[in-house]
Amino acid sequence: MFNLNFNVMKRLNVIFAASLMMMAAISFTSCQKDDGDTTDPLVTTMQEGDEVDSYFDETMSEVDELTYENDSKSQMDMAVINSMGQGTRTRKTSWEGDIRIDTVTYNNFVNGNARFERVKNGQIIIRTTGHYLGETFIREVSFNNFTINGNLIEGNKRIQKTSQYTYEIQLENGKVTFSDGTTHTRTMTRTRTMVEGYDTPYYIWDDVYTIEGSSTGVNRQGNAYTHQITNALVVRMDCRWIVSGTFNVTVNNNSMSLDYGNGVCDNLAIATINGRAYEVRLRK
């Protein structure tokens, strides 16, 4: 039973994460700065976006962990769930018709299962209709004075199943206010489709997903940016990097495209900036 829960949880994390490595920070292997070099605002925005995405991804991992079990409509509970962590995390579950509402309250909570040892405070509110494996699934996530390491997380995230293997993910009014008062905003639409692995529902390592969509926002330096996937990104669960696809990043009047290759599992990509191509290495 443990393996079943673990595999389904991993699949949920892949589908519902905000970024799924799209904004992986990069290091240029063959780029030398010169007067007029425009890489700095682009790379800075990507690296900053990677941090912002990690916050939103971590909230979705929390959501997955707290809502996968206890789907019984008769249950209305107040449960303390600490997951071998520090502080407290309390979930209150109620129902409005067919909509399940989970209100999760954090008090200096550090999740022992999380990738990062980050301190969480405030509330996450989760409204769920249907079930991930059913024909109908809608999940809406919002925040109430919710912070991670003192950084305020805001926004509304909606995940809707649009076909048997396709989910549409929207982030509206996404915003991180950092402890120094600077902000990074994000509005995003993604379409995630499982294209391989659906015949082995409890084995995740043969799963392959495509990701399409775009996002816009303003970074901490006040620069407007856009991200547009121009060829669907392909993610394999047996690889820690995106294996193919391209997307464009525009910051003010500067733009860059990133090409993840032709399906080989490696950490190499090609960045094209103002007509010049650079080989880059992606962080895992």
Which residues, 6 or more positions from 137, have their beta carbon under 8 angstroms from its beta carbon?
128, 129, 130, 131, 159, 160, 161, 167
Instruction: Evaluate whether 63 touches 124 at the Cβ level (below 8 Å).
Output: yes
208: Cβ contacts below 8 Å, ≥ 6 apart: 194, 195, 196, 197, 234, 235, 236, 237
Say what angle helices 2-16 and 39-67 make with each other, to 10 degrees: 140
| pTM recorded for the entire structure | 0.82
Q: Percent of the chain, pLDDT > 90?
A: 49
What are 57's two structure tokens?
């991804």
Summarize pLDDT for 33-89 with one digit per residue, the tens: 444 444 567 777 777 887 888 898 889 888 888 876 555 444 545 566 665 668 999
Q: Residue 213 has what pLDDT? A: 95
Residue 82 pLDDT: 61
pLDDT at 164 over 50: yes
What number is the average pLDDT over the span 104-119? 88
Q: CB of 186 within 8 A of CB of 211?
A: no
- C-alpha angle 66-88-105 in degrees, rounded to nearest 5: 60
How many other C-beta atoms can be found within 10 angstroms of the C-beta atom of residue 167? 20
- Tens digit of each residue's pLDDT (9 = 90 or more) over 201-223: 778 889 999 999 999 999 999 99
Q: Of 131-140, 143-152, 158-167, give the lowest mean pLDDT range.
A: 131-140
Res. 14: pLDDT tops 80: no
